[in-house]
Chain A
Amino acid sequence: MSGTTELVMAYGIMSAIIAFYVNHLRSRIVFLSSKISEYSTSIEEE
């Protein structure tokens, strides 16, 4: 038992945690940018 499976598992989980947070930030930036554009357009139309 050298721990190779555990090595792969640990790196996999830590990578998934980072990927999850980066994707969370990306989706928030996209969502909020579109909301701000939408609000700005509505304000200009008024």
Chain B
Amino acid sequence: MHPDLSVRIRNGIIVTSIGILGIFCTAILGIFYAPGVDPMAWNAPEAQRIFYWHVPFAWSSFLAFCMLFIGALSWYRNRSEWGWRWVSTGSDLGLLFGAGVVTSGPIWGSVEWGVPWDWGDLRLNTFALLTGVALFLVLSRRSQPDGQETRDTLAAIGLFGFALVPITAIATTLYQKRHPGIVVVDGDGTGLDPLMRTVLMFGTVSFMVLFVGLSMLSDSVLRLEDTAEKAKRRLD
């Protein structure tokens, strides 16, 4: 293996480990340290503590979709290998974090709202669709032969799928129906207790570190696949 790649993998493992440590500290702080919500105002006050992971999961998924979008643009402009690696990593991480959001959300919704999903809420549905796009890209990459046509098609789907990101973000404020609105910014009827905000911000930073670590490892796997493919062709 190329020495640069070994260093990259080692750094990826270190950053990922720090991120994992951080997110587990966040879970412990969120469950045992952060103050609870008013039990009279919420149907399931303890379940609200899900949000210390649920929210950073959602933000990380948006970051992954941005990565996918930038990668797809770069692939179209220059047919760059790094662009394609960003498409691959962005779709993998978009699916990973999106799946976390669309599973933890309904668990909370079922106990707080009485229903796991609200088909009338634009934000829930556009986010589920976004995760569906990531799932489609991941499955297509694994099932289709790798080549320029496949990459062109999947990068185009990634570009159009990204349009759902601003729609979901705008729906957070303009089309707020059932899902809670923005809580980080203080406003009328919104805002967070300072301790809650501190735990949430610590969780967000930890998830960003985990995101960087996983991106480094995923990028290394793609480089290894390329090296193995070239070595195999040389042998043949």
Contact = CB atoms under 8 A, between A and B. Distances in A.
B125 interface: no
A37 B31 CA distance: 46
B221 A7 contact: no
B227 interface: yes
B231 A43 contact: yes
B16 A22 contact: yes
Interface string B17-36: 00010010001000100000
B235 interface: yes
Interface residues of A, number: 28
A25 B111 CA distance: 34
Q: Is the interface of A mostly helix, strand, loop or mixed?
A: helix
Given A1-B111, A6-B108, A13-B107, A39 B47 contact: no
B234 interface: yes
29 contacts: A2-B39, A2-B44, A2-B45, A3-B44, A3-B108, A3-B111, A6-B44, A6-B110, A7-B31, A7-B49, A10-B50, A10-B108, A11-B53, A14-B54, A14-B100, A17-B99, A17-B100, A18-B20, A25-B214, A25-B217, A25-B218, A28-B224, A29-B224, A32-B225, A32-B228, A33-B224, A35-B228, A39-B234, A43-B231
Interface of B: 1, 9, 16, 20, 23, 27, 31, 39, 43-50, 53-54, 57, 92, 96, 99-100, 103-104, 107-108, 110-112, 210, 214, 217-218, 220-221, 224-225, 227-228, 231-232, 234-235
Interface of A: 1-4, 6-7, 9-11, 13-14, 17-18, 21-22, 25, 28-29, 32-33, 35-37, 39-40, 42-43, 46
